[in-house]
Amino acid sequence: MGAVPRHALLSLGLPDAFPVADLDALAKGVAALAARHATAVVGGNVTRSTGPLFVEVTALGSVKRRRVLLRSAARPGDGLYLSGSIGGAAAGLDLLQSAAGGSDARDVELEACRQRYLRPEPRVRLGRLLGRTRTARACVDLSDGLADALHQLAAASGAGAVVDAAAVPIEPGARRWFEQHGRDPLDAGLAGEDYELLFTAPARAGRRLAAIGRMARGVPLTRIGVITRVRGVVVRRAGADTPLPDGYEHFR
Protein backbone atom coordinates (compact mmCIF):
# COMPACT_ATOMS: atom_id res chain seq x y z
CA MET A 1 0.00 0.00 0.00
CA GLY A 2 1.23 3.47 -0.88
CA ALA A 3 3.39 2.25 -3.75
CA VAL A 4 3.90 3.88 -7.13
CA PRO A 5 2.82 1.46 -9.90
CA ARG A 6 5.62 0.78 -12.38
CA HIS A 7 5.02 -2.33 -14.50
CA ALA A 8 2.30 -4.86 -15.22
CA LEU A 9 2.17 -8.35 -16.74
CA LEU A 10 -0.94 -9.59 -18.55
CA SER A 11 -1.60 -13.30 -19.08
CA LEU A 12 -4.61 -14.59 -21.01
CA GLY A 13 -6.17 -18.01 -21.45
CA LEU A 14 -8.43 -17.71 -24.49
CA PRO A 15 -11.26 -20.10 -25.46
CA ASP A 16 -11.37 -21.07 -29.14
CA ALA A 17 -14.57 -19.12 -29.72
CA PHE A 18 -13.45 -15.92 -28.01
CA PRO A 19 -14.18 -13.02 -30.44
CA VAL A 20 -11.17 -11.09 -31.73
CA ALA A 21 -13.06 -7.83 -31.24
CA ASP A 22 -13.48 -8.61 -27.53
CA LEU A 23 -9.77 -9.39 -27.24
CA ASP A 24 -8.94 -6.04 -28.82
CA ALA A 25 -11.30 -4.25 -26.46
CA LEU A 26 -9.82 -6.00 -23.42
CA ALA A 27 -6.26 -5.11 -24.45
CA LYS A 28 -7.21 -1.49 -25.14
CA GLY A 29 -8.87 -1.22 -21.74
CA VAL A 30 -5.78 -2.55 -19.95
CA ALA A 31 -3.51 -0.23 -21.94
CA ALA A 32 -5.69 2.81 -21.25
CA LEU A 33 -5.76 2.22 -17.49
CA ALA A 34 -2.01 1.56 -17.42
CA ALA A 35 -1.36 4.79 -19.32
CA ARG A 36 -3.43 6.80 -16.84
CA HIS A 37 -1.06 5.69 -14.09
CA ALA A 38 2.18 5.84 -16.12
CA THR A 39 2.51 2.06 -15.88
CA ALA A 40 4.10 -0.04 -18.63
CA VAL A 41 2.66 -3.41 -19.66
CA VAL A 42 5.99 -5.19 -20.11
CA GLY A 43 4.95 -8.73 -20.96
CA GLY A 44 2.86 -11.70 -19.98
CA ASN A 45 1.56 -14.74 -21.81
CA VAL A 46 -1.23 -15.89 -24.11
CA THR A 47 -2.42 -19.49 -24.25
CA ARG A 48 -5.48 -21.54 -25.23
CA SER A 49 -8.14 -22.31 -22.64
CA THR A 50 -10.36 -25.36 -23.00
CA GLY A 51 -12.74 -23.80 -20.47
CA PRO A 52 -13.66 -20.21 -19.67
CA LEU A 53 -11.68 -17.05 -20.33
CA PHE A 54 -8.81 -16.47 -17.89
CA VAL A 55 -7.34 -13.01 -17.27
CA GLU A 56 -4.38 -12.64 -14.90
CA VAL A 57 -2.68 -9.34 -14.11
CA THR A 58 0.45 -8.96 -12.00
CA ALA A 59 1.28 -5.40 -10.97
CA LEU A 60 4.70 -4.29 -9.73
CA GLY A 61 5.52 -1.04 -7.95
CA SER A 62 7.98 0.68 -5.68
CA VAL A 63 7.76 2.47 -2.35
CA LYS A 64 10.26 3.79 0.17
CA ARG A 65 10.57 1.60 3.24
CA ARG A 66 9.24 4.22 5.68
CA ARG A 67 6.21 4.92 3.48
CA VAL A 68 4.90 1.35 3.26
CA LEU A 69 1.37 1.07 4.65
CA LEU A 70 0.80 -2.29 6.33
CA ARG A 71 -2.47 -3.71 7.62
CA SER A 72 -0.65 -4.65 10.86
CA ALA A 73 0.20 -1.13 12.12
CA ALA A 74 -3.14 0.04 13.61
CA ARG A 75 -3.10 1.14 17.26
CA PRO A 76 -5.94 1.39 19.82
CA GLY A 77 -7.47 4.85 19.65
CA ASP A 78 -6.78 5.32 15.93
CA GLY A 79 -9.66 6.60 13.88
CA LEU A 80 -10.94 4.21 11.23
CA TYR A 81 -11.45 5.86 7.83
CA LEU A 82 -13.01 4.82 4.53
CA SER A 83 -12.52 6.37 1.11
CA GLY A 84 -15.51 6.86 -1.19
CA SER A 85 -18.57 4.74 -0.46
CA ILE A 86 -19.60 1.08 -0.41
CA GLY A 87 -22.49 -0.89 -1.86
CA GLY A 88 -22.19 0.35 -5.44
CA ALA A 89 -20.40 -2.71 -6.77
CA ALA A 90 -22.74 -5.16 -5.00
CA ALA A 91 -25.78 -3.33 -6.35
CA GLY A 92 -24.20 -3.13 -9.80
CA LEU A 93 -23.70 -6.89 -9.89
CA ASP A 94 -27.28 -7.42 -8.76
CA LEU A 95 -28.48 -5.12 -11.53
CA LEU A 96 -26.44 -6.85 -14.22
CA GLN A 97 -27.69 -10.27 -13.13
CA SER A 98 -31.32 -9.17 -13.07
CA ALA A 99 -33.79 -8.04 -15.68
CA ALA A 100 -32.85 -4.48 -14.71
CA GLY A 101 -29.36 -5.00 -16.07
CA GLY A 102 -30.24 -3.46 -19.40
CA SER A 103 -32.63 -0.84 -18.09
CA ASP A 104 -32.60 2.87 -18.84
CA ALA A 105 -29.05 4.20 -18.44
CA ARG A 106 -30.55 7.64 -17.78
CA ASP A 107 -31.12 6.51 -14.19
CA VAL A 108 -27.85 8.12 -13.12
CA GLU A 109 -27.67 6.53 -9.67
CA LEU A 110 -28.18 2.96 -10.88
CA GLU A 111 -25.82 3.48 -13.83
CA ALA A 112 -23.18 4.63 -11.35
CA CYS A 113 -23.61 1.30 -9.52
CA ARG A 114 -23.13 -0.68 -12.74
CA GLN A 115 -19.94 1.25 -13.46
CA ARG A 116 -18.67 0.71 -9.91
CA TYR A 117 -18.80 -3.03 -10.62
CA LEU A 118 -17.66 -2.97 -14.26
CA ARG A 119 -14.96 -0.29 -13.99
CA PRO A 120 -13.63 0.02 -10.42
CA GLU A 121 -11.41 3.05 -9.90
CA PRO A 122 -8.03 2.21 -8.31
CA ARG A 123 -7.25 4.66 -5.48
CA VAL A 124 -3.59 4.94 -6.47
CA ARG A 125 -3.25 8.68 -5.84
CA LEU A 126 -4.91 8.48 -2.42
CA GLY A 127 -2.72 5.55 -1.35
CA ARG A 128 0.40 7.45 -2.37
CA LEU A 129 -0.71 10.56 -0.48
CA LEU A 130 -1.43 8.58 2.68
CA GLY A 131 1.98 6.91 2.51
CA ARG A 132 4.05 9.88 1.40
CA THR A 133 2.72 12.13 4.15
CA ARG A 134 2.79 9.30 6.72
CA THR A 135 -0.77 10.21 7.67
CA ALA A 136 -2.14 6.67 7.81
CA ARG A 137 -0.80 4.06 10.20
CA ALA A 138 -2.43 0.99 8.64
CA CYS A 139 -4.18 0.50 5.32
CA VAL A 140 -5.89 -2.22 3.29
CA ASP A 141 -7.98 -2.21 0.13
CA LEU A 142 -11.58 -3.39 -0.18
CA SER A 143 -11.10 -5.75 -3.12
CA ASP A 144 -13.01 -8.41 -1.15
CA GLY A 145 -15.33 -6.03 0.69
CA LEU A 146 -15.38 -3.87 3.80
CA ALA A 147 -16.16 -6.73 6.18
CA ASP A 148 -13.14 -8.72 5.00
CA ALA A 149 -10.88 -5.65 5.17
CA LEU A 150 -11.97 -4.81 8.72
CA HIS A 151 -11.34 -8.34 9.97
CA GLN A 152 -7.95 -8.52 8.24
CA LEU A 153 -6.76 -5.16 9.54
CA ALA A 154 -7.88 -5.84 13.11
CA ALA A 155 -6.43 -9.37 13.20
CA ALA A 156 -3.09 -8.33 11.71
CA SER A 157 -2.81 -5.46 14.21
CA GLY A 158 -3.77 -7.61 17.21
CA ALA A 159 -6.63 -5.22 17.96
CA GLY A 160 -10.36 -4.78 17.52
CA ALA A 161 -12.65 -2.17 16.03
CA VAL A 162 -16.01 -0.55 16.58
CA VAL A 163 -17.78 0.52 13.39
CA ASP A 164 -20.52 3.17 13.55
CA ALA A 165 -23.19 1.85 11.20
CA ALA A 166 -24.73 5.30 10.74
CA ALA A 167 -21.40 6.76 9.60
CA VAL A 168 -20.64 4.24 6.83
CA PRO A 169 -21.25 5.97 3.47
CA ILE A 170 -23.52 3.95 1.15
CA GLU A 171 -23.69 4.66 -2.59
CA PRO A 172 -27.07 6.43 -3.12
CA GLY A 173 -28.19 4.15 -5.94
CA ALA A 174 -27.21 1.07 -3.91
CA ARG A 175 -29.20 2.27 -0.90
CA ARG A 176 -32.28 2.76 -3.08
CA TRP A 177 -31.83 -0.58 -4.88
CA PHE A 178 -31.40 -2.67 -1.74
CA GLU A 179 -34.21 -0.94 0.17
CA GLN A 180 -36.56 -1.56 -2.77
CA HIS A 181 -35.68 -5.26 -2.58
CA GLY A 182 -36.10 -5.58 1.18
CA ARG A 183 -32.40 -5.78 2.04
CA ASP A 184 -30.39 -3.76 4.51
CA PRO A 185 -28.02 -1.53 2.45
CA LEU A 186 -25.13 -1.80 4.92
CA ASP A 187 -25.36 -5.58 5.24
CA ALA A 188 -25.60 -5.95 1.46
CA GLY A 189 -22.68 -3.60 0.85
CA LEU A 190 -20.25 -5.13 3.34
CA ALA A 191 -19.14 -7.83 0.86
CA GLY A 192 -19.10 -5.70 -2.32
CA GLU A 193 -15.97 -5.35 -4.44
CA ASP A 194 -15.79 -1.57 -4.15
CA TYR A 195 -11.98 -1.25 -4.31
CA GLU A 196 -11.91 1.60 -1.80
CA LEU A 197 -9.26 2.06 0.90
CA LEU A 198 -9.74 1.39 4.61
CA PHE A 199 -7.10 3.02 6.79
CA THR A 200 -6.40 4.17 10.34
CA ALA A 201 -4.93 7.45 11.52
CA PRO A 202 -4.10 8.85 14.97
CA ALA A 203 -6.07 11.76 16.40
CA ARG A 204 -3.16 14.15 15.81
CA ALA A 205 -3.38 13.58 12.05
CA GLY A 206 -6.49 15.74 11.66
CA ARG A 207 -4.82 18.58 9.74
CA ARG A 208 -2.99 16.22 7.40
CA LEU A 209 -6.21 14.32 6.72
CA ALA A 210 -7.98 17.56 5.88
CA ALA A 211 -5.18 18.46 3.46
CA ILE A 212 -5.27 15.02 1.83
CA GLY A 213 -9.03 15.33 1.51
CA ARG A 214 -8.50 18.52 -0.51
CA MET A 215 -5.91 16.81 -2.74
CA ALA A 216 -7.88 13.60 -3.27
CA ARG A 217 -9.70 14.94 -6.34
CA GLY A 218 -13.23 14.48 -5.14
CA VAL A 219 -12.78 11.22 -3.21
CA PRO A 220 -14.42 11.75 0.21
CA LEU A 221 -12.79 10.41 3.38
CA THR A 222 -15.18 9.36 6.16
CA ARG A 223 -14.42 8.36 9.73
CA ILE A 224 -16.47 5.22 10.31
CA GLY A 225 -15.17 3.99 13.66
CA VAL A 226 -12.25 3.47 16.01
CA ILE A 227 -9.60 0.85 16.74
CA THR A 228 -9.95 -0.75 20.20
CA ARG A 229 -7.82 -2.85 22.53
CA VAL A 230 -10.53 -5.52 22.79
CA ARG A 231 -10.16 -7.93 19.89
CA GLY A 232 -12.99 -8.52 17.47
CA VAL A 233 -14.92 -6.21 15.17
CA VAL A 234 -18.40 -5.02 16.10
CA VAL A 235 -20.98 -2.81 14.39
CA ARG A 236 -22.72 -0.25 16.58
CA ARG A 237 -26.36 0.46 15.67
CA ALA A 238 -28.46 2.69 17.92
CA GLY A 239 -26.09 2.04 20.83
CA ALA A 240 -26.13 -1.76 20.51
CA ASP A 241 -23.03 -3.68 19.38
CA THR A 242 -23.23 -6.80 17.20
CA PRO A 243 -20.33 -8.85 15.79
CA LEU A 244 -19.41 -7.97 12.22
CA PRO A 245 -20.20 -10.88 9.86
CA ASP A 246 -17.26 -12.65 8.23
CA GLY A 247 -16.20 -11.25 4.89
CA TYR A 248 -15.74 -13.04 1.60
CA GLU A 249 -13.45 -16.09 1.79
CA HIS A 250 -11.96 -17.41 -1.46
CA PHE A 251 -11.78 -21.07 -0.42
CA ARG A 252 -14.93 -21.40 1.68
Which pLDDT belongs to residue 143?
Answer: 87
Low-confidence ranges of the chain (pLDDT < 50): none
Distance CA 121, CA 147 (A): 19
**Amino acid 112: pLDDT:** 94
Residue 51 DSSP one-character state: S
Give phi and psi for 230, each to the nearest 5. -75, 125
Reported in sequence order, the residue ranges of the chain that DSSP labels E, i.e. its strands, are: 4-14, 40-48, 54-62, 79-83, 138-141, 160-164, 197-201, 221-228, 232-237, 240-243
Q: What is the pLDDT of residue 98?
A: 87
d(CA 33, CA 31) in angstroms, rounded, equals: 6
Q: Encode pLDDT of 117-152 as tens digits.
A: 998 888 999 999 999 999 999 999 998 899 999 999
Domains, the chain, with CATH or none: 4-62 (3.30.1330.10), 66-243 (3.90.650.10)
Residue 252: the pLDDT is 64
Distance CA 186, CA 197 (A): 17
What pLDDT is attached to residue 1?
A: 79
| pLDDT (0 to 100) of residue 251 | 65
- Predicted confidence at residue 48, as pLDDT, reads 96
Residues 6+ apart with CB under 8 A from 8: 30, 34, 39, 40, 41, 42, 57, 58, 59, 60
Q: How far apart are CA 231 and CA 193, in angstroms?
A: 25
